[in-house]
């Protein structure tokens, strides 16, 4: 497969947006669950660092010792992320801290970003396909 650093970064960003969507959906599903604490996906600092460095070398998993198992996971994200549980606040008397308005806003924003990135990744491979077809 023909790939570039930017296409791998974009695909990794799509994976994170998918995880973020699942996390937001879980928050919405548990909006009325007593003592449920909302979760967020944190990755922006790592993404910014990867974009600014122009290199993904420091983001890849490497074998640091010859006795360690080698790791090759094509589904692994290039951009590290964490799922963080927010335990500091409470929105309801039952200890739940899910704000439905905020979660619905986050869901819409995440969907827009996902659609944009999916079009960008698709466009990259469409260009390559068109270029290869025109070589005839």
In this prediction, residue 124 carries a pLDDT of: 79
Q: What is the DSSP letter of 30?
A: T
**Cα separation of 130 and 132, whole Å?**
5
Cα torsion 25, 26, 31, 33 to 10°: value is 160
Contact predicate 26/39, CB 8 Å = yes
More confident residue, 133 or 75: 133
Of 114, 103, 115, 108, the C-alpha closest to 16 is 114
Q: What is the pLDDT of residues 84-114, one digit of tens each?
A: 898 887 777 788 999 999 999 999 999 999 9
Q: Averaged over 104-132, what is the pLDDT?
A: 89
In this prediction, residue 79 carries a pLDDT of: 76
pTM of the model: 0.70
DSSP string, 34-99: TT---EEEE-HHHHHHHHHH---GGGS----STTSPP---TTS-SS--EEEE--S--SSTTS----
Q: What is the pLDDT of residues 17-59, one digit of tens each?
A: 999 999 999 999 999 999 999 999 988 777 677 667 765 454 4
């Amino acid at each position: 497969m023909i790939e570039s650093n930017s296409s791998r970064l974009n695909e990794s960003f799509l994976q994170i947006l998918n995880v973020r969507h699942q996390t937001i959906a879980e928050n919405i599903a548990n909006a009325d669950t007593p003592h449920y604490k909302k979760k967020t996906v944190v990755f922006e600092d790592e993404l910014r660092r990867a974009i600014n460095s122009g290199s993904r070398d420091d983001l890849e998993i490497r074998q640091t010792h010859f006795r360690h198992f080698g790791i090759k996971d094509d589904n692994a994200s290039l951009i590290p992320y964490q799922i963080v549980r927010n335990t500091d606040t409470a929105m309801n008397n039952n200890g739940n801290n899910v704000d439905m308005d905020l979660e619905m806003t986050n869901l819409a924003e995440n969907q827009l970003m996902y659609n944009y990135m999916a079009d960008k990744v698709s466009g990259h491979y469409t260009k390559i396909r068109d270029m290869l077809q025109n070589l005839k």
